[in-house]
Amino acid sequence: MNKYVAEFFGTFWLVLGGCGSAVLAAAFPELGIGLAGVALAFGLTVLTMAYAIGHISGCHLNPAVSIGLWAGGRFPAKELIPYIIAQVVGGIVAGGVLYLIASGKAGFDVSAGFASNGYGAHSPDGYGLGSALITEVVMTMMFLVVILGATDKRAPQGFAPIAIGLCLTLIHLISIPVTNTSVNPARSTGVAIYVGDWAIAQLWLFWLAPIVGAALGAVIYRFIGKENQ
């Protein structure tokens, strides 16, 4: 049970820290952190939690990562459903806390986005479904390659959280304009349910594409990372 609780709190921190930076701080008058700040915030949530709970649960914080690690032979199938439930619930609770904070400001309008992921009219820069699909698949694929490589027993020990956190930062720097960056179904669900409407209607993509990308990343690393005989 401690593994599932750790995943709950880890995903809670990821959604609160990452989406919270986007909702509360990205455009703060004159001192807004902007796209780069939001990207760094997401990376820092993973970096900090990897050191805090990596030794407890592995610090997946993401259903796609759990599925990718299973596909890569690093995670037992029997743990998948409990991990995914813990991650999604953690994301939803974080979204609720963020909603309570953000709604305390006059003029708050959850329908404006609330850091939700989207495509077409709801893409930050107007990218269509095809671009969003490719972006989410490729970004999650590369994320899994980095995760599997950084946590390989042959990799330098103790540095995996840094590599993984910086990888997530880079992913956001690339893809925020396209989809607001998901690569994580729990992160997408955690805020989409408070927006409802279009965010729920488009949520399918931010489950499907990250899972496909994670599986591809696992297949790629199993090929390139196999030890020489």
CATH (domain of 177): 1.20.1080.10
φ/ψ of residue 82, rounded to 5: -60, -40
The C-alpha atoms of residue 27 and residue 33 are separated, in whole angstroms, by: 7
CA 136 from centroid of its chain's CA atoms: 11
Nearest 10 degrees: Cα torsion 220, 139, 59, 91: -140
- Quote the pLDDT of residue 29: 62
**Taking all residues of the chain, what is their mean pLDDT, rounded to a whole number?**
93
pLDDT-based confidence at residue 229 (cuts at 50, 70, 90): very low
Binning pLDDT at 50, 70 and 90, where does residue 31 land?
low
Is residue 228 pLDDT above 60, yes or no? no
Please determine, for residue 53, whether its predicted confidence score (pLDDT) is greater than 60: yes
Amino acid at 104: G
Burial class of residue 118 in the structure, from the number of CB atoms within 10 Å of its CB (0-12 exposed, 13-18 middle, 19+ buried): buried
Split into its structural domains, the chain has a count of 1
Percentage of the residues of the chain whose pLDDT score is greater than 70: 97
State how far the Cα of 185 lies from the Cα of 63, in Å rounded to an integer. Answer: 6
Which residue segment(s) compose the domain that 148 sits in?
3-225
pLDDT tens readout for residues 137-179: 999 999 999 999 999 999 888 899 999 999 999 999 999 999 9
From the list 185, 134, 148, 149, the residue with the least C-alpha distance to 71 is: 148
